Each structure stands twice: as structure tokens, then as C-alpha cells.
Amino acid sequence: ARRAQMGGALPPGPRPLPLLGNLLQLQSGRLDRALLELSRRWGSVFTVRPGPRPAVVLCGYAALRDALVLQADAFSGCGAMAVFERFTRGNGIVFSNGPRWRTLRNFALGALKEFGLGTRTIRSESWRRRLRYDPALLPPRPPSGTPFDPRRLLGNAVSNVICSVVFGKRYGYGDPEFLRLLDLFNDNFRIMSSRWGEIYNIFPYLLDWLPGPHHRIFRNFADLRVFISEQIQRHQQTRQPGEPRDFINCFLDQMDKEQQDPESHFQEETLVMTTHNLFFGDTETTSTTLRYGLLILLKYPEVAAKVQAELDAVVGRARAPRLEDRVRLPYTNAVLHEIQRFISVLPLGLPRALTRDAHLHSHFLPKGTFVIPLLVSAHRDPTQFKDPDCFNPTNFLDDKGEFQSNDAFMPFAPGRRMCLGASLARSEIFLFLTAILQRFCLLPVGNPANIDLTPHCTGLGNVPPAFRLRLVAR
């Protein structure tokens, strides 16, 4: 671990400057592009120093597979992210390791299932009822054809799904408490997507002293902690022990059960962090995917029209699309995969740390090595996709027009730490986008040819440029 900290034995990479490391090479332009560019010179496994701590970058499908899938155990540790460190202190699911991580991950997966999220389909009637469209909770719909920015609406819709699982309630779209919550998540995601230096271990011990927007992240975290703690208190006052109706109640029940166990992982602070993980994991990633998806469909109206024709033929317009329909909608399925591939919403995944020594492509990587899995590099790998650099649904279609899966599709990262909400996210993306396309024509404001799909900023996430669109009932 010490050798990894020092970077002595790590794979070669660009020469670092004293103190600044490779900061200057990485800071210019988009971070994901800068790393892809470096891999042309240094290969699929190389070391960069975005500060004093070195990071080994895994680039291309083969390196990602050989590490995260074929050596899943060794690569299953989580890597520290400076801005999160002081908030989470290694607690919750995303930033814990070892027995605590395994216990919390299994518990959360079990609880999500309990509240109706089977791996294949949303089965239980209680869950269906929760998700059911409730007109009372919707804002007045913008008059047909009026341009509007879909960010808030999509954020509200997505977040209400995880709200019903975790808090057991949905919020009205105009609810100020809800809007404030979403703004905190959105603000943090945006800052982390433009100021990646603070995340990737640039002088973590100096963050308190350095000026910059990361102080806003800390303030937002503090507000989120208050919000979540209040929700937990409300649950404590109103719950019926043994009869959980949401994730927080399940967790509180488990805390009761393990009260006498000094080693128990079920503590209130852990509940706060785990709740935060589920929200942060869900809200920004999924709503950004939907928003980016709409922008892409505005640019390529012929693709949207083909999805609508398939939906009309297979589902019709009398009922909303259901998850079971997915297998009969190969083109739609290909488009949704292509959206996720093309945007790579978390282009660098989340950093990992080696749980033991490993060998990768003739390099020795000591235990503790900090690893950046460059997920976007699998999505842009020309050995895996026919047309890697363009938005092209045939990347997921065979010659007969049938859906063709691809192991290099990894927006949720592969391996032991794979996104815990992948199944939920895929369901949401399918249900929201198909429901919108079934009912509305998407119209751009201006000429579709002028729509620029380049992310507004790139760091932890790829954030699309702000845009407005018009919806007209079909």
C-alpha cells in the first residue's frame, strides 16, 4: 500500500511536475477526453497524478474487463474521493469497504426488492400503486407547444420514485421542501462535474484552506444531512415496529434487532449516509440521462419517429408501455442503450482501490492502488462498437434489426461494485422515455441541425447543455 501511495512501482504515464503532478495536462478541456488522449501514448493501463496521490487509469474494454470482471475481488475496494471523504467518513454503501460495505449493500438490495423492485420487473401491487400517476401531485402542464426547460420536471419525476422507496411518500411537484432537496443534489452534481480536481484527490488535506466552489458542496452536504435526519426523526415518531413501509423503517427495524450487538453496522449515522447514497445515486444520474436523451432525440427526429412507430405497432396508444414490452421493442431498446453509451453519464465511473496485490496487462499493481475505471473508454472502443463516436442505434442492432447486447456497454460499471440501482434506473429510463414519446411529439426550439450534443461540463458526470423543447400531443 505504501508503494502504491508513493507511486514507485506503478505503470508508466506522463511525467509529473513537482507538487502539481499532471494537473496542467488534465485541467485543459474535458477530463475524459484528456485521459483518452493520454492513453494513445501510454496504453490501456497508465498512471496519472492529478495531485500528490497517483491514480492508475484503466482504458478500453479489455483493460476494464480484465480488471473489474476477471479480477473482481481485487478491484472491489472503493477509492477515496476528497470532497466526499469528510462528509461520509467511510460510511454508507458507496464509500465503505469490507464487511460493512457487504452488509449494507445486501441490506439495501434486499430492501429495494422488498418494496417491489425485482431484478426483472416491478412486480408487487403495492409498488405499482406507489408509482401510479397521481394528477394531484402534478403541476399544471405547460400549454401545448410552449417551450420549456425539462430539467426540473424530470428531476421531480425521477426523485419521487426513490422518495417513495426510501421515505414512503411522493412529493407534489411545486413542494418547496422537495425543490430545495433537488436543488442541493443538482448543485453538487454540477460542481463535481466542473471542478473534478477537488474530487480526484488534489491536496485533500488542503481543501479547507483553498478557496473554491467545493465549500458550497460542503454546505449542501450539511443541509442534506439536516433534511435526511429530520425525515428519520419523523419516521421514528410514526413507525409501527415490525411493519416497515419504506427503506428507513426497514433500517430502523434492523437497528432494533441488533441493538445489543456492539459490532452492528446498523447505526443512525449509517442510515443517514445510506439514504444519501440512494438519493445521490438515483436522482442526478437518471434524470441527467433522461434529459440528455431528450436532447439527442431532438437532434435526431428520424430516430424519435422510428421509436414512435415501433411503440404504436407493438403497444398502441390505449395503454402506457410496460417493462414486459421491452423484449418486443428491439429498436426502442437499442436507442435507450445507445443514449446511455453515447453520453456516458459517469465517464470515469467511481474510483476503486485494490483490496490486494494484482497483475494487469504485465503491470504489477500493489494493494491500495487508486484506480480510475474510464468507463467512457469502453463505450468509445472501436473494437467493440461499429460506430463508436457517433450516436447510432445500430451499435445495438444486428443485421436483422434485432437487439444486440454488448459487454462493453457499462454505464453502471461491471464487477462486484456494480451500480446497485442499475435495474431501477433502466426501468425508469424505459418507462419515462417511452411514455413521453408515446404521447408527445418532441419539437426543438430552432433548427435541430444546430443542436450541439457536447457536454456543458465534464468531471464526475457529463452534464448536457441547458435547452428548451416543445411538446405537442400526438
Q: Among 285, 377, 438, 462, which residue sits at the site for ligand HEM (rule: CB under 6 A)?
A: 285
Q: CB of residue 175 vs ligand HEM: minimum separation in angstroms? A: 21
Interaction of residue 251 with ligand HEM, rule CB under 6 A: no
- How far CA 135 is from CA of 122, 146, 199, 474, in Å, comes to 21, 20, 40, 20
> Could you tell me how many residues make up the chain?
474
Residue type, 52: P
Helices and strands per DSSP (H, E), number in the chain: 16, 11
Considering the rule CB under 6 A, would residue 228 count as an interface residue with ligand HEM? no
- Least distance from ligand HEM to the Cβ atom of residue 250, Å: 14
Lookup: cell for 455: 457536454
Residue 289 as a binder of ligand HEM (CB under 6 A): the answer is yes
Cell of 294: 431528450
Least Å distance, CB 414 to ligand HEM, is: 8
Stretch that binds ligand HEM, among 141-149, 185-193, 210-218, 342-350 (CB under 6 A): 342-350
SS3 content of the chain, % helix, strand, coil (to 5): 50, 10, 40
CB of 375 to ligand HEM, least distance (A): 6
Cell of 354: 485494490
Q: Which residue is listed with cell 454503501?
A: 93
Among candidates 32, 135, 92, which has minimal Cα distance to 273?
Answer: 92
User: Binder to ligand HEM among 417, 458, 460, 461 (CB under 6 A)?
Assistant: 417
Q: Is 343 in the site for ligand HEM (CB under 6 A)?
A: no
- Provide DSSP, 339-396: HHHHH-SSTT---EE-SS-EEETTEEE-TT-EEEE-HHHHHT-TTT-SSTTS--GGGG
Give yes or no for residue 464 binding ligand HEM (CB under 6 A): no
- Chain positions 310 to 339 lying near ligand HEM, rule: CB under 6 A, are none
H helices of 368-465, in order, are: 375-379, 422-439
| x/- track of binding to ligand HEM for residues 48-87 (CB under 6 A) | ------------------------------x---------
Among 266, 370, 385, 412, binds ligand HEM (CB under 6 A): 412
Closest separation between CB of residue 342 and ligand HEM, Å?
A: 13
Gyration radius from the chain CA atoms:
22
For 469, the enclosing helix (H) or strand (E) is: strand 469-473
> In this structure, which amino acid lies at residue 279?
F
State CA 107 to chain mean position distance.
20
Neighbouring-strand partners of residue 469: 148, 444
Q: Which stretch binds ligand HEM (CB under 6 A): 223-231, 265-273, 418-426, 436-444?
A: 418-426
Q: Calculate the CA 379 to chain-centre distance.
A: 15
190 lines the binding site for ligand HEM (CB under 6 A): no
Instruction: State the CB neighbour count (10 A cutoff) for residue 230.
Output: 11
Q: Find out whether 165 and 248 touch, Cβ atoms under 8 Å.
A: no
- Which residues sit in the known binding site? 419
For the CB of residue 264, give the shortest distance to ligand HEM in the complex, in Å: 19
Query: Which residue ranges make up the annotated binding site for heme?
Result: 419
Q: Which span sits near ligand HEM by CB under 6 A: 214-222, 248-256, 321-329, 344-352?
A: 344-352
Name residues contacting ligand HEM, limited to 92-121 (CB under 6 A): 93-94, 105
Contact flag: residue 192 with ligand HEM (CB under 6 A): no
Of residues 68 and 298, the one with the C-beta less far from ligand HEM? 68
Q: Strands 370-373, 352-353: parallel, antiparallel or unpaired by DSSP? A: antiparallel
CB 318 to ligand HEM: min, Å: 29
- Closest contact distance (angstroms) between CB of 464 and ligand HEM is 13
Q: Kindly identify the residues of this chain, within the stretch 258-277, that bind ligand HEM according to CB under 6 A.
A: 277
Angle at the Cα of 292 (from 383 to 391), degrees rounded to 5? 30
Buried b (16+ CB within 10 A) or exposed e, 123-148: eeeebeebbeeeeebeeeeeeeeeee
Q: Which residue is nearest to ligand HEM (CB)?
A: 421
Residue 374: burial class (beta carbons within 10 Å; 0-12, 13-18, 19+) = buried
Q: Which of 36, 419, 457, 471 binds ligand HEM (CB under 6 A)?
A: 419
Q: Taking the complex as a whole, how short is the minimal distance between the CB of residue 306 and ligand HEM, in angstroms?
A: 23
344 touches ligand HEM (CB under 6 A): no
425 binds ligand HEM (CB under 6 A): yes
Residue 249 makes CB contacts below 8 A (sequence gap 6+) with 168, 235, 239, 243
* Residue 345 found at the interface with ligand HEM (CB under 6 A): yes
Give how many residues touch ligand HEM by CB under 6 A.
Answer: 25
Query: Which residues make up the interface to ligand HEM (CB under 6 A)?
Result: 78, 93-94, 105, 277-278, 281-282, 285-286, 289, 345-346, 349-350, 411-413, 417-421, 424-425
